[in-house]
Amino acid sequence: VTLPSYLQRSEPLVRDARTGSMSVIPGAVVEVQAEVSRGLAEANASVQRPVSRTSDDSPESTAAVVATPPFIPAPTVQLAGNTLTTSPVHVEESLLLDISWRDDLGLTSREPFRLKLNMIEDLPPAVSCQQQEPQQVILSTDVITFELSAADDFGVKQLGLSWQGMLDAQESPETGYQVQMGQKVAAGGGPEREKVQATVTFCAETDGVVPQLLELRAWAEDFHPDRERTFSPSYVLQIMRPGEHAIWVSNQLRRWASQAEDVYEEEMRLHATNRELRAVSINELGQPEMQQTIAQQVAAERANAARLGSITEQGRMLIQQAMRNQEMQAQHLEKWASALLNLEKMSQQQMPSIAGLLNNAANSSRKAAAAAGELSDDQSKDPLTVGNNRSTMQGKQDENAGESPDEDPDDDGKAKAPKIEDVESGFNKPTEDDPDAEKDDDKKGKKKSGPGRLTLPETVLQGGPRAPKKDKEKSNEEEQAEEDLAEAVEVQESLLLEFEKIRDDLQAIMDDLENSTFVKRLKAASRRQLEIAHDLNRSLMQSFGVDYRQLDEQRTSMLATIAQREVDQSQFIWNIQSDMEAYMSRVPDPVSLRIIDEMKDASVVTQVEGISERIRENMAGESISRAEFWADTLDRWAEELVPIPEDSDGKKEKDKDKDKPKGSLPPAIVLEIMRVLEAEIGLREETRSLEQAREAILINEYVSRAVQQGTSQKELVDRTVQVMTDIRDLPEGGEAFETELDMLSAARDAMMDAQSILTIPNTGPDAIAAETEAIESLLRAKRNQSSDSQGKSSGAQAGFGSEGSTEQAALALMGSSSDAQARIQQRGVNQATGNSENALPEEFRDGLDAFFNAVEGGR
């Protein structure tokens, strides 16, 4: 089958047609080659058009055919021995090709061989797009990786990624940017490549996309000349600036803390019930109703632990988002990470242990109750007694002889064996019944007695000293149940105390973030005023002093757009003022209260909204002046919200560093190393993606993108050098962190090599190797902190009875490269060959030895 020329196939396709049917696309040319069992003398071929079956046709009508129009000639057949070959048949519709032959013996086929050529359309390619780490909110500096795939029966030409903004200038809170559209080629295909897969990266900052709501889709092209691109389902990403992202993180933290608060409230409820169970006696705990209550407590405790584990995992994902933001403070992230580690310990160890203790207490109390239920009164129905009773109490016994004894409800009706005994008289008083013993018997329940047995005659003496009484002791099951229940309550009390401390820490973080959020929001409002002033100044001379009623439509529309932005900004400032008032009612602060009063006195919301009216009236000069004034005022309020350090010479910070365990890097430095690591990993993915698309893009585009990656690598080199400088500035930093400095130095050298390779430009294996070396060096620098404290795991997390204190930042256990659960274990490798499962018997071994010795001696 020779495909149409637009598919650019260099060779025809070879298909097996023995089934009698084959699919082809319009414009294809088909040649049939057949081989028979004898030499051929003659062969003919004809082309026919199939007739569609209708309701009036009989079943035989499905085989009916009509002749092909005259302008399609019947194919000729060439013979070569027992092989025949038809001339090319051009296919523009479904056809029936009949081939008949006569062999050299004069025999013909019973019926012609019919080949159905079914025409099918050249379908568009199928495209799929998969985001490696699904995220909906990203920073403008984040590198997002997509896995693209396209498949087409006749070859994929190109595969790529495209994006388009989802907001227009009027709807956007930004400075009037138009809808942005862009694309990048991920990989080139070919006429013979029916499936193409590629990895492509997207970074808003690198790809020149301003922060906005963005729609991304994969696209693919095949070789059909009149077909447009085929797109995959879209991904929607919210791209944010660092300040906006910090606000989003603080809001997410508040929601996450609310979920953790629900777990705490549930644990408080469970603790109250456990305290009530602790006050119940062991016998009552063994009752079915109490057993069911304990089972419900165990199930609820385990469910609450699972819920806390899920919440902790969400917290990990959220803190990883926050760690990528340069504006998030290290001390906030460190405190947050420590709280997460403690919550993880609660969900994985403390809460399951409480459930286990409750379960053990239930089992022990049930066993104690069962053991108590088996005890009963030792007295049973008196058996028949034969013998002489010479006791002084004989008369009394005779008086009671006529009375029938109380019926024993547990008596099984079996006859008791008689006793043969003589009761002798004496001066000892008869032993009286112990009322305490009777009470104990009543509590324990009467014990069933058996029928007894007939033994030799006995002599019994009245009275005498009472047999020594054993002290009453609790059974092991009772003691174990009480201990387990008490321990469960104690562990739960310590858990709640630690949980309450974590709540306070999270509240402090949210308070700090809330304060910093107001700073960022006021700064953002200030920038928006400057942007509006800049836009007005840019077109000031075009219509300066012209009455707004004489402006053309384009200028009027532009001013209306800027005026609407000013109205939106007045609403934005009103939201800030309202949020500050609500926040200060909960956390009063003199500086913030003063700023709120100033905002009210200045009527900032009304004044900013009034600028929009002056803009519509083309009072550009006055509008610019007012916008710049409010930009300065909003910026001043933001600066005043930031607290002034108590000690300007840094003594306070130094004192904090002295309190840290020696050998631990400050959390801020650890966080910066992790950020550089994430950036280097993203740069390597971008390099790999560019190398993959190298043959499919223009040389100028390739050089530009490679040089841009080299510039990004240079920035990472500078950040690494700054980290090394910060470490050396620490007290005895050059000596205490010599290993870390060596690793960072190796990473810096590898980054410099990668930079020089990228600027050649070269994005091949050499650049990937240099970037990988830098990543491995940074990973060693980060993990070295945790390796130093492998032998001190008891102090890895404070609280819950752990001893010691951690020597590493909690942030070191977060991030994509964390492996807190990884442990190096030594294991032996058993020999897999040369060992027999069962040893041979001695006589067999002797015989084999003799045989092999004889063989060796005969050589």
Q: Is the pLDDT of residue 599 over 60?
A: yes
Q: Are 451 and 240 in contact (CB under 8 A)?
A: no
How far is CA 281 from each of CA 333, 442, 482, 607, rounded to the nearest angstrom? 48, 18, 9, 73
Q: Which of 120-124, 215-219, 256-260 has the highest mean pLDDT?
A: 215-219
CB < 8 Å & 24+ apart, contacts of 427-433:
428/461, 428/462, 428/463, 428/464, 429/462, 429/463, 430/391, 430/393, 430/462, 430/463, 431/462, 431/463, 431/464, 431/466
What are the strands, taking DSSP E only, across 203-315? 213-222, 230-231, 235-240
Residue 630 confidence class, pLDDT cut points 50, 70, 90: very high
138 strand-pairing partners: 239
Q: Which of 5-9, 801-805, 830-834 has the highest mean pLDDT?
A: 5-9
Residue 248 confidence class, pLDDT cut points 50, 70, 90: confident
Q: pLDDT value at position 586?
A: 55
Give the separation between CA 133 and CA 324, rounded to whole angstroms.
15
Looking at the fold, whether 291 and 335 belong to one and the same domain comes out as yes
Residue at a domain's end among 748, 766, 787: 787
Q: Is the pLDDT of residue 232 over 90?
A: yes
Q: Is the pLDDT of residue 699 over 80?
A: yes
**Tokens for 638?**
């933001």
**Tokens for 386?**
């034969």
pLDDT tens digits for range 58-109? 444 444 444 445 456 778 999 998 999 999 998 888 889 999 999 888 888 8
Least confident range from 111-115, 393-397, 728-732: namely 393-397
Q: Is the pLDDT of residue 353 over 60?
A: yes
Stretch 333-356: mean pLDDT: 83
Whether residue 652 is contained in a domain is answered as no
Structural element, H or E, at residue 524: helix 476-538
Whether residue 288 is contained in a domain is answered as yes
Stretch 118-137: mean pLDDT: 89
Name residues whose C-beta falls within 8 Å of residue 430's C-beta, 6 or more positions apart in sequence: 391, 393, 462, 463
Looking at the fold, whether 669 and 781 belong to one and the same domain comes out as yes
Whether residue 793 is contained in a domain is answered as no
The CATH number given to whatever domain includes residue 105 is 2.60.40.1220
Looking at the fold, whether 620 and 557 belong to one and the same domain comes out as yes
How far is CA 672 from each of CA 144, 481, 659, 691, 772, rounded to the nearest angstrom? 20, 52, 21, 29, 19
Q: Are 225 and 8 in contact (CB under 8 A)?
A: no
Looking at the fold, whether 65 and 108 belong to one and the same domain comes out as yes
In the chain, the percentage of residues whose pLDDT exceeds 70 is 71
Q: pLDDT value at position 167?
A: 62
Residue at a domain's end among 787, 812, 847: 787
116 strand-pairing partners: 21, 96
Looking at the fold, whether 71 and 91 belong to one and the same domain comes out as yes
Q: pLDDT value at position 312?
A: 86
Q: pLDDT value at position 464?
A: 55
Whether residue 838 is contained in a domain is answered as no
Give the torsion through C-alpha atoms of 355, 357, 361, 364, to 10 deg. Answer: 120
Q: Is the pLDDT of residue 406 over 50?
A: no
Mean pLDDT of the chain: 76
Whether residue 58 is contained in a domain is answered as yes
**Tokens for 617?**
């009236």
Tell me how many domains the chain contains: 5
pTM above the 0.85 mark?
A: no
pLDDT tens digits for range 520-562? 778 888 988 998 988 888 777 677 777 878 788 878 888 888 8
Looking at the fold, whether 144 and 50 belong to one and the same domain comes out as no
DSSP string of 186-232? Answer: EEEEETT--EEEEEEEE-TTTTT--SSEEEEEEEEEES-TT---EEP
Strands 126-131 and 28-30: unpaired
Stretch 370-399: mean pLDDT: 52
Helix (H, G, I), strand (E, B) or coil at 385: strand
Give the separation between CA 342 and CA 558, rounded to whole angstroms.
56
Whether residue 411 is contained in a domain is answered as no
Residue 809 confidence class, pLDDT cut points 50, 70, 90: low
Q: pLDDT value at position 160?
A: 95
Q: Is the pLDDT of residue 711 over 90?
A: yes
Q: Is the pLDDT of residue 712 over 70?
A: yes
Q: Is the pLDDT of residue 806 over 70?
A: no
Q: Which domain holds residue 26?
A: 5-119
**Angle ∠(462,468,472) on CA atoms, nearest 5:** 130
Looking at the fold, whether 99 and 151 belong to one and the same domain comes out as no
At 719, phi and psi to the nearest 5? -65, -35
Give the separation between CA 529 and CA 353, rounded to whole angstroms.
58
Stretch 456-462: mean pLDDT: 57
Higher pLDDT among residues 4 and 779, named by residue = 4
Task: Name the DSSP class of 350.
Answer: I
Helix (H, G, I), strand (E, B) or coil at 148: strand
Looking at the fold, whether 107 and 143 belong to one and the same domain comes out as no
Q: pLDDT value at position 152?
A: 93
**Tokens for 459?**
């002599």
Give the separation between CA 559 and CA 529, rounded to whole angstroms.
15
97 strand-pairing partners: 47, 115
Whether residue 839 is contained in a domain is answered as no
Task: Name the DSSP class of 4.
Answer: -
Residue 591 confidence class, pLDDT cut points 50, 70, 90: confident
Higher pLDDT among residues 826 and 495, named by residue = 495
Residue 825 confidence class, pLDDT cut points 50, 70, 90: very low
